[in-house]
Structure 1
């Protein structure tokens, strides 16, 4: 142990002894002082008086410490911004390369700091840390966090001479009690930072200093580059105080590493990505916080600190038999631990691992309760590896005879693969190709890389939803109770939307189609290396699809699996094509002992006459396995009925559309809706290939003998989602039909249904994972050109409100997948699938209208584009109507206006505000009411709609019955 360290240790214990003696002698102190003072000589009395005056002056200076913050804010020292632009720190000296910076680290020292340099143990800590970190992590040092203006105590102050003296004494080998004045003064500054009155001003000033320092060292606001604040001792509170301001100003991920930090818990730590608290068992100083700061008491469970802990944003790291300061503290290079490392080395290792995302934090164990996904995967046909990639219906294999009967579901199909933590690439993910366009057929079976486009709009989307993931206690508990949570992503830094999609399941089993256009980037040698996309991959089921009619089962068992089918003949437009035998494996029961789909009697279904689309792939024997199914009649452009007129439409929506469900079981309906016959006629004439419609989706419940648990109460709410329906020319039948994509905002669940973009074949048609055979569904397709057609928002740039909505939904879905970094999302009065989907619609309308109205010459634009100007007026009127329907009190929710809703977790997150928000947007709480309200708003503006209803399709399952969702 060094002599200098021994001196500081003696100084500390001297202070403890003197304080104890003063406490014991306190009752007798006046008498002792009076007696001693009477016995002194005149000279000694003079000296004593001068010392007393000095001590009183020092105490007065300390008690007036808030004035420095108030003076800075008031401009007493000059312009508040200009005064924070001096002494902006420097980079920790180390060998730098030209590698782009990936993270900025700002070190804030403990209460022993008097100037811009540090004590020897701190200098060594920073030196050792810099040596083990890669060059792309920059450490900024040399800031003075105990002054809102970043002013050293030893310069440009009235008492600078005194602080210089105290600093020299502190640095000497023996030290003295007077050196503790620096700690005492800075401790008061920490209390100012924690104070609810002066703290906001003080922390705002310190945040401005850090902001200026970051910009001075190359940081670009809005770039999304992560920032880490390292706070030692009192620097922990300063870090907590400044982080919310930095978050708002920089729009960047910010986390804090507290090294034996003392902090109040008063500040909004919910804005942090994560808070790592490193503390030893022998640290008595750090234990002051939980005692003297009420907001850290468990009793005040609604405080920022306690809510942050419950959300899983706090990692408490035990450093073992380590104290606070040297000697014996977290930065003691001479204190050896049981594993042979020094206390300093242990601290360096932890901080370096945290910064690089390799810290060995606790992981969520395998769920103790099987999820439905676990049950389903026990059947081989529910796993991707069951379908050999080489067994393609378009190759020269034994299955080549199927070539004319099937078509690929999409151009690019494959399996997302979550990389190892060490193998991660920015904005990219491995992708196993299962199908590719003919010119890239040689890539089938290879693993390439999918990455995001560099388009600014795509990059903005990526920045919004890329977050650190640390499971909350609730997410950990739910994942162990049978919920499917992204456990592989727990404690990962900067998880992007591709990783959250690939990591949503415990295994790499998510099959997706890449949305067009897909740009293939090649190396100089011509080998493709990247598939570049601009939108989220689409979850699908099956690589190929066909159009067939079931002729009958070839099995004699009670649960037939093999069926003889006849393919549709495009030439004759009849089902007189090739016959073959396909396999519909018996699906696995869910946790309610219910089969999601039943084969028996499917050839007797009333839908069999017009045929079924079957989705799947060949197995190892070349037999086509039907993984998903869809009734052809549902998607055809000829409705079974028309309802015209406002009263008739409202009656249909509120009553008739969900009436007599038991009689409708196993059937579909397709109903066209319009407030006027003129609008309906125009819509029929305008419908053509490429036409798009907004889809509003609602599902009902599962009743009967196997009633689902959620429907066993007096009411059933249902589920709400948006989607897009596009008119395509289907090549097998050569007819126009609807192609449906859902944008599901969905919480974590036992089935592994993953929030995101889903094709009808996955969300609805999948026999094992979809809802076609088990739920009643209403998909309302709304045709309204002011919403679906493009506007020229800038020179050469066109987009539609529907496109803006899709991007908003992609943002919301990505947030749901990781719960904004907490691992899971949970519904509440103001936050659920219906509320958050409708927020996306509201935000899309506001954003689209704003982007056009902000045109530099809007009057000229309207003259040049009269048709678009007319559509814009209709769009704005639609937005106004929707506002009044979805928010009947006439006031837009603040979080909707700012497009910055925080995903709900429980009522404890601002309980009164949460309930109020739910009340002022009550129609969006109920999925069916929201669907009807939105449809009526569009129809009022001249739109037309199709309602596609399905009711537990497929074979006959007598154990279940359809239930309608609640309405008024």
Structure 2
């Protein structure tokens, strides 16, 4: 009797037995038919009845076992740390394990003994994996105690008999019957896992089993070593059910799931998986029932975890071809072959090992249908790094290097990945000049004194459909790192553009290690810059009308006037955007009122030895010398909220540098507070481009603008010997057509760059905030932290997440997550980090002193922090009151790792709207910036406003638009 006939016969008999149980009046018909059977068939029916009762009893026990485990009914009789799984292949001692893999077998499993095809699959998979990958088997996914059916229970003798017969090589009807009994029993357990009432308890129990197994085999929670759960058939649901609990227990470890013909309900939170690979055969009837039986997988429930995960690119559907569900013709069958000559088993091993080795070919064919502005700009040679020779020198009397360490980030090929990226050295400190021109390794490691880990942002990157579509429409997304595992912040920065053209400076300290290979180690994000050197000049005139070559005269350090050497520099014509807007123009620079005090020019020499001006900065804007002092709180707020943006169109080509002081109008007295080496928090807001060439985003009745945080440091500028502001922005910025990358950008790159910057086309208001609570060290556990320093680290985390859209490939603006919301969340989180470090967990200092001895002792040890810490507590209260008007913080503000960024409003719209309502005042960039500035001003902060309006652009067809506010 073939398998198909056996299945039909068993199905008929099973239905008959079921009907007899449900409808006793049919029993006489059943008995009459039963007495007419022969001896062999009677035995078959008897076994079927016994199996039905056993399966029914075992099915009823499944949720009771989970409930008993949860309630502790079994006391100490059951040791859940027994049977912790075994390794398919022993790992050599001292191996640096890079991944743990747990295999969860299908519904045919009754004990730790696998079917022969399962054993062969695991054996071949272990051979295909590298030695530093741990493969764990011997887990019973159908028991919260990791206890086989064949051990310890009332029905264990029956299940032992059933297992022996099911694994027998003879294909009799009895064996098929007993195999069906095991399958149905375990299928009922899968149903319990999928059930929204009993499932959470059962899934937590299986997560505990996996956790114990991982710990037993050397896994260290918090190590961020990736974990893969391979779930075969019903094991797919068990893996997805345990995912959230296992991730939480292992301190947010990166966990992915490979579903092999998996039955998955869709009730579990698939968004928590790094990725779900769903391998399904075209002839698999069982898996096809999933989208029918489980409502959460129906398309109509578009907000379910399953459907959201599909839209966000979290699920990859992989076809196995003409393959069935399990057994003969299933994915582990080594007797049937594909058209390419591989067995079904070999294909399965190849696909899964390819995924685990990060070598799976995704074969996405994408056609770019629209050219980005970034690609337009690259058509000009001066916008490409290779235009500037590496070996060049400048006159050190008139030019200074932008930083000791500068260079180009290079994304290594996928197969050559290490823990960092490559770095082409363009400039090095005096001790390492020999490295200029070489390509070395660059690694970004966490500051050992920081409790905020940037490396925790590592994610598997798999583009969702929206990110792929935006790529074809010209948005610059990190396409080169699509389908990369555990992408580091440095890799996401280097791979943000399709070309290796991101030029950066490295902030100190830079540690150079030469041990076979040369590696530079840094502890903070590289800063995106324009140019390598800068000088201070006054523009005289082009060498002839319309020429790109300009005569300039350098600043004289001795006379402090522009009467030094004249030089001819190159100001190449910039490429207009798709909307025919040029970021800057070279015409009229010598006639600008800003030319009197001079311009900082940033760039490098081309092959002809001529200095090319890549970026401009008005000296009058950045020098620590205001043009106006506004006195009094009321007038200060009036200037901030109104005057700084009033008549913005008429201020085209002008800058404003204004101190908002509390008492004195005396400029020297006001400036005296801004001392060399001190830092200030910067709040940045920009407006829109109007006029005849109005940008598309500004064609609506209102323009919302953009805001960001940054840091302004007072430095002694060597060319003049005067104080000036060195500004860096921490741009929480969505993916765009201009190639502007979220991260740390110098003023020269973000604002001053003649091709890519905003100085010439947008109105900008930068507010510098100086307050002791921001810059004072708070000593905790012999580690000193400043609020400003922690904020920078929080912003580095946020921007690293933005660059990859938390693994989805792109980030989008929504009501709950945008530049203003997420930047202010970083500020709120930074305050909480400082408070947690010194164990302050109250809203009032007096209450904390009375009830928190740890905080009281800290304050007694450090009385010098009393004043600034009071400011910090007031800031916390004010932010809650002003930015969180309901007095409660959003859950994702309390814990930044819980928020999901990178999603559009179409994904979980209700959730996004509710979050936005909790922090509605930080939705609008200008309103948020004004609110935060006012909060700091009330605490006694010193404020300095630097504003510009389309400086360095003489195009009469563009006009400034102020950002909207209430």
- Alignment TM-score, normalising by the size of structure 2: 0.94
Q: Select which of 401, 407, 413 maps to 1:414.
A: 407
1:357 aligns with 2:368: no
Residue 298 of structure 1: how far off its partner (Å): 1.3
2:455/2:489 contact within 8 Å kept: no
Matched, 1:445 2:446: no
Aligned partner (choices 119, 131, 136) of residue 135 of structure 1? 131
* Correspondence for 2:807: 821
Matching of residue 835 in structure 1 with residue 821 in structure 2: yes
Which of 921, 928, 937 does residue 926 from structure 2 map onto? Answer: 928
Q: 1:552 to 1:945 in 2, by over 3 A?
A: same
Equivalent pair of 1:755/1:814 in contact (CA under 8 Å): yes
Superposition deviation, residue 209 in structure 1: 0.4
The whole-number CA distance in structure 2 between the counterparts of 1:198 and 1:483 is: 45
Structure 1 range deviating more: 158-167 or 294-303: 294-303
| Cα distance, 1:403 vs structure 2 | 3.1
What's the offset of the Cα at 1:892? 1.6
- The match for 2:369 is 368
Deviations 1:655-709 (A, max 9, x none): 1110111211000001111344499987643322101000000000000010000
Please show how residues 338-357 of structure 1 align to structure 2 within 5 Å: 338-357=339-358
- Quote the residue 2:505 is aligned against: 513
Could you say if the C-alpha distance between residues 882 and 600 of structure 1 is closer, same or farther in structure 2, counting changes exceeding 3 Å?
same
Identify the match of residue 118 of structure 1 among 98, 111, 114: 114
Residue 469 (structure 1) aligned with residue 467 (structure 2): no
Question: Is the deviation greater in 174-183 or in 351-360?
Answer: 174-183
Aligned partners of 1:359, 1:856: CA distance in 2, in Å? 56
Partner deviation per Cα, 1:534-588 (whole Å, 9 max, x = no partner): 001000000111100000111323xx42110000011110001110010100000
Q: Is the 8 A contact 2:446 2:454 kept in 1?
A: no
Contact 2:452 2:793 in 1 (8 A): no
Residues 254 and 48 of structure 1, relative CA distance in 2, 3 Å threshold: closer
Q: Is the 8 Å Cα contact of residues 721 and 745 (structure 1) preserved in structure 2?
A: yes
The equivalent residue for 1:494 is 486
1:623, CA displacement in angstroms? 0.3
Against the structure 1 CA distance between its residues 52 and 353, is the aligned structure 2 distance closer, same or farther, given a 3 Å change threshold? closer
Farther-moved stretch of structure 1 (649-658 vs 148-157): 649-658
Count of residue pairs the alignment pairs up: 947
Unaligned 5+ runs, structure 1: 1-5, 394-401
**Residues 1:546 and 2:535 are matched in the alignment:** yes
State the match for 2:846 in structure 1.
none
C-alpha spacing 1:938/1:680, structure 2 compared with 1 (3 Å): farther
- Which of 69, 74, 77 is 1:77 aligned to? 74
> How far does residue 874 in structure 1 lie from its aligned partner after superposition?
1.3
Q: What do residues 581-603 of structure 1 show as CA deviations (whole Å, max 9, x unaligned)?
A: 10100000101111111111111
> Which whole-Å CA distance do the structure 2 matches of 1:938 and 1:187 have between them?
61
The 5 Å alignment of 1:767-782 reads 767-782=754-769
Give the deviation of 1:38 after TM superposition: 7.5
The range that moved more, 49-58 or 755-764, is 49-58
Q: Deviations over 1:688-739 (max 9, x none)?
A: 2101000000000000010000100100000000000000011111111110
Task: Give the direction of change, closer, same or farther, for the CA distance of 1:677–1:51 in structure 2 (3 Å limit).
Answer: same
The answer for the alignment partner of 2:247 in structure 1 is: 247
- Alpha-carbon distance between aligned partners in 1 of 2:677 and 2:940, rounded to the nearest angstrom: 21
Match of 2:86 in 1: 90
Q: 1:196 to 1:680 in 2, by over 3 A?
A: farther
CA distance in 1, matches of 2:47, 2:503: 82
- CA drift of 1:785 comes to 1.4
Picking from 397, 411, 415, the partner of 1:404 is 397
2:656 pairs with 1:672: no
- Is 1:219 the counterpart of 2:219? The answer is yes
Task: Report what 1:261 is aligned to.
Answer: 262
**CA offsets 1:383-425 (integer angstroms, 9 cap, x no match):** 00010111232xxxxxxxx332111111110000001111100
1:58, distance to aligned residue in structure 2 (A): 4.0
Query: Which of residues 479, 492, 496 is equivalent to 1:504?
Result: 496
Q: Could you tell me how far 1:279 is from its partner in structure 2?
A: 1.1
**Contact kept in structure 2, 1:786 and 1:872, CA below 8 Å:** yes
Alignment of 1:637-656 (within 5 A): 637-656=624-643
Name 1:603's counterpart in structure 2.
Answer: 590
How far apart, CA to CA, are the structure 2 residues paired with 1:46 and 1:330? 33
Cα 1:466–1:756 change in 2 (3 A) is: same
Partner of 2:845: none
Aligned mates of 1:236, 1:162 — CA distance in 2: 26
* Partner Cα distance (1:851, 1:264) in 2: 42
Aligned mates of 1:770, 1:711 — CA distance in 2: 18
**Structure 2 residue aligned with 1:163:** 159
Match for residue 421 of structure 2?
429
Whole-angstrom distance in 2 between the partners of 1:347 and 1:61: 32
Q: How does 1:526-545 map to 2 (within 5 A)?
A: 529-545=518-534
Q: Deviation string for 1:756-800 (max 9, x for gaps)?
A: 0000010000000000100000000001011122222222x2120
Instruction: Answer yes or no: is the 8 Å Cα contact 1:679–1:944 preserved in 2.
Output: no
State the Cα distance separating 1:94 from its structure 2 match: 4.8
Partner SS, residue 545 of structure 1:
strand
Distance 2:192 2:936 in 1: 55
In the alignment, the residues of structure 2 paired with residue 577 and residue 944 of structure 1 have an alpha-carbon distance, to the nearest angstrom, of: 37
Partners of 1:563 and 1:584 within 8 A in 2: yes
Other-structure match for 1:906: 904
Could you tell me how far apart the structure 2 residues matched to 1:575 and 1:879 are? Answer: 48
Partner SS state of residue 279, structure 2: strand
Between stretches 116-125 and 907-916, larger displacement belongs to 907-916
For residue 286 of structure 2, give the secondary structure of its aligned residue in structure 1: coil
Residue 397 of structure 1: aligned partner? none
Deviations 1:97-119 (A, max 9, x none): 64210000000000000001210
Asked whether the equivalents of residues 674 and 943 of structure 1 are also in contact (C-alpha less than 8 Å), the reply is no
- In structure 2, stretches of 5+ residues that fail to align are 841-851
Partner Cα distance (1:873, 1:347) in 2: 62
Q: Is the 8 A contact 1:452 1:458 kept in 2?
A: no
Q: Distance in 2 between matches of 1:528 and 1:154?
A: 56
CA distance 1:640–1:617, change in 2 (3 Å) = same
Q: What is the Cα deviation at residue 461 of structure 1? A: 2.0
Structure 1 residue 735 and structure 2 residue 732: aligned? Answer: no
Structure 2 residue matching 1:803: 3-state secondary structure: helix
- RMSD (Å) for aligned C-alpha atoms: 2.6
Match of 2:948 in 1: 950
Q: Secondary structure of the equivalent of 2:421?
A: strand
1:352-398, Cα deviation, whole Å (9 max, x unpaired): 010011100133635221100000001111000010111232xxxxx
Q: Does 1:204 align with 2:193?
A: no
2:57 is matched with: 60
In structure 2, the partner of 1:396 is none
Contact 1:694 1:788 in 2 (8 A): no
Partner of 2:649, secondary structure, is helix
Residues 613-659 of structure 1 show CA distances to partners (whole Å, capped at 9, x for unaligned) of 00000000000000000000001111111112121112112211101
Q: 1:943 Cα shift?
A: 0.6
Q: Secondary structure at the match of 2:594?
A: coil
Which one of 800, 807, 810 corresponds to residue 786 of structure 2?
800
- Post-superposition shift, 1:899? 2.8
The TM-score, its normalising length taken from structure 1, stands at 0.94
Q: CA deviation at 1:955?
A: 3.8
Distance 1:278 1:460, change over 3 A: farther
Which residue of the partner structure matches residue 586 of structure 1?
573
Distance 1:51 1:280, change over 3 A: closer
Do the aligned partners of 2:55 and 2:184 also contact (CA within 8 Å) in 1? no
Task: State the secondary structure of the residue aligned to 2:453.
Answer: helix
Deviations 1:174-221 (A, max 9, x none): 223133110010000000000001000000000000001000000000
CA distance in 1, matches of 2:853, 2:598: 54
Give the secondary structure class of the aligned counterpart of 2:871.
Answer: helix
- Farther-moved stretch of structure 1 (65-74 vs 361-370): 361-370
Residue pair 2:51, 2:178 contacting (<8 A) in 1 also: no
SS in 2 for 1:469: coil
Distance 1:69 1:858, change over 3 A: closer
Q: Paired residue for 1:881, among 842, 854, 878? A: 878
| Equivalent-residue separation in structure 1 for 2:43 and 2:107 (angstroms) | 33
Q: Distance in 2 between matches of 1:97 and 1:7?
A: 50
Match of 1:766 in 2: 753
